[in-house]
Amino acid sequence: MPGMSKALTILGIETSCDETAAAVLRLQDGCAELISDVIRTQLEEHAPYLGVVPEIAARAHAELADLTVKTAMHEAGLSYADLDGVAATSGPGLIGGVLVGMMTGKAIAQAAGKPFIAVNHLEGHALSPRLGNDCPFPYLLLLVSGGHCQFLEVRGLGEYRRLGSTIDDAVGEAFDKTAKTLGLGFPGGPAVERLAEGGNAEAFDLPRPLLNRPGLDMSFAGLKTAVARAAEDAPQTEDRLRDLCASFQKAVTDVLAVKAGRALEAFEPGEGQEKRFVVAGGVAANKAIRAALEHVAAEVGARLIAPPLRHCTDNAAMIALAGAERLAAGLVSGEAGDLGTGARPRWPLDEAAAKASPVYETGRRGAKA
């Protein structure tokens, strides 16, 4: 049909943390259609250790990767010959897992004679709202996951400007550590959220670090320590636990909401453009945080866009989308694609900002998102 671009069918693979995932997606004229979307979590393997164990993760990815890819292809009803490219997370993340997914993707791409697309996991999160929503560039992005907490201006594909960041722990990390302190198991985010629902958020007076300092930088390490101290002092009844979870979640939410308000004020999308505010990453699954951000956005006439819960936490659909968008934009090198790209444990979206102040890019488990 005249005026229509060629549809691109891409297999995406994600193995950078504790989810082994594969998805097939078709992109045409900027519209993404998800054809299959398989996510195998390794939660059970890591739960006894109350955190992700890199060596266990790498081994589990090696055991699960080919079956997960096969399942995604089978559910899509396609063969490798039907693909236009194979995308895999090539960083940042736990390097053992990243290597497994990347080598699986490279092998399939080479055997099928298709380009390989090296995808930055953070770019996957950054583009995840575009999977189902009407979410054109530019937009303000709050990326909140287990390894990152950043405000970024997303001007276009590959055009990221970091506006602010946590200077110590990521938000997801604070949820996980709080859950560990309170004996709630792993992963912490959903467990803390569940308990917080029945608690009194005013019961504990917890700090809101850096709240009154101008700018968009954040800090969560002190908050986590304050929770630990409060837990020691308070009797461990079910009610107190609920109150502590609610107070912690409220403190995090307040910080994110105030900083988001400030970021939205400063964000200029351009003449006649709607102000779009995206929240993405695992912590974006938190309903209280989503509701608070929705409120802040509404106050300044902005639209909050958040991926469905399934695509907030790690998944391969967002990796397939990032791969498809890169291929469509001609950002993939040569016919074989990015075969020469190696796995990167650290891979900031705004390289210049990361170089200027590297401390802001450090997170738990390397630079895991």
Q: Which residues bind ligand KG4 (CB under 6 A)?
A: 17, 145-147, 172, 175-176, 187-190, 193, 281-283, 285-286, 313-314, 368-369
Q: In what order do the strands lie in the sheet with 159-165?
A: 159-165, 149-156, 139-144, 276-280, 303-305
| Nearest approach, Cβ of residue 179 and ligand KG4 (Å) | 7
User: What track of x and - describes contact with Zn ion for positions 307 through 326 (by CB under 5 A)?
Assistant: -------x------------
301 and 294 in contact (C-beta within 8 Å)?
no
Phi, psi (deg, nearest 5) at residue 32: -100, 135
| Nearest approach, Cβ of residue 253 and Zn ion (Å) | 20
Comparing CA positions, the residue from 6, 4, 8 lying closest to residue 115 is 8
**Residue 321 and residue 83: Cα distance in Å, rounded?**
13
Nearer to ligand KG4, 164 or 281 (CB): 281
Comparing CA positions, the residue from 332, 239, 319, 255 lying closest to residue 32 is 319
User: What track of x and - describes contact with Zn ion for positions 137 through 176 (by CB under 5 A)?
Assistant: --------x-------------------------------
Q: Is 73 in the site for Zn ion (CB under 5 A)?
A: no
| Nearest approach, Cβ of residue 242 and Zn ion (Å) | 28
Nearer to Zn ion, 144 or 231 (CB): 144
CA distances from 305 to 29, 32, 124, 132, 298 (A): 21, 16, 15, 10, 12
Angle at 317 between CA 312 and CA 318, to 5 degrees: 60
Nearer to ligand KG4, 285 or 316 (CB): 285
Tokens of 129: 């709202």
Among 65, 279, 319, 369, binds Zn ion (CB under 5 A): 369
217 binds, among ligand KG4, Zn ion, none (CB under 5 to 8 A by kind): none
| Nearest approach, Cβ of residue 175 and Zn ion (Å) | 14
| Nearest approach, Cβ of residue 123 and ligand KG4 (Å) | 13
203 and 247 in contact (C-beta within 8 Å)?
yes
Sites of contact with Zn ion (CB under 5 A)? 145, 314, 369
